[in-house]
Amino acid sequence: MAVHTGRAVPKRIWGPASEGAMLENALRSKRVRDASHLDITWEHSHVVADEDGRAISCCVYGAPSVERVLEHASARRRCTRSRPVVPTSTSW
């Protein structure tokens, strides 16, 4: 069982993406996590489209550190732009 000391919420801008493309992004994230980031737990995601049709996601992860969330994001990167991870715990 993973030991989480906090949560982090990365915000990603994907550009125009269909619902199927966003599902593939989620599946790719799970494959990367299962292969090398088992200490990270995905909790839930919110995906919206902005006025220009770009898909934007905010995902909540439980993790031992912000660095582990950043490593996971780097290993699966396909988005056009990523905002800094927002830690939701002061224990990091």
Query: Was domain 6-87 assigned CATH 3.30.70.60?
Result: yes
Predicted confidence at residue 71, as pLDDT, reads 83
For the entire predicted model, the pTM comes to 0.71
C-beta of residue 43 within 8 angstroms of C-beta of residue 10? no
Predicted confidence at residue 72, as pLDDT, reads 80
Residue with the larger pLDDT of the pair 92 and 27: 27
**pLDDT digit string, tens, across residues 3-61:** 667 788 888 888 888 888 888 888 888 888 888 888 988 898 888 888 888 888 888 88
Structure tokens at 78: 């396909």
Q: Which residue, among 48, 46, 92, has the nearest Cα to 70 in the 3D structure?
A: 92
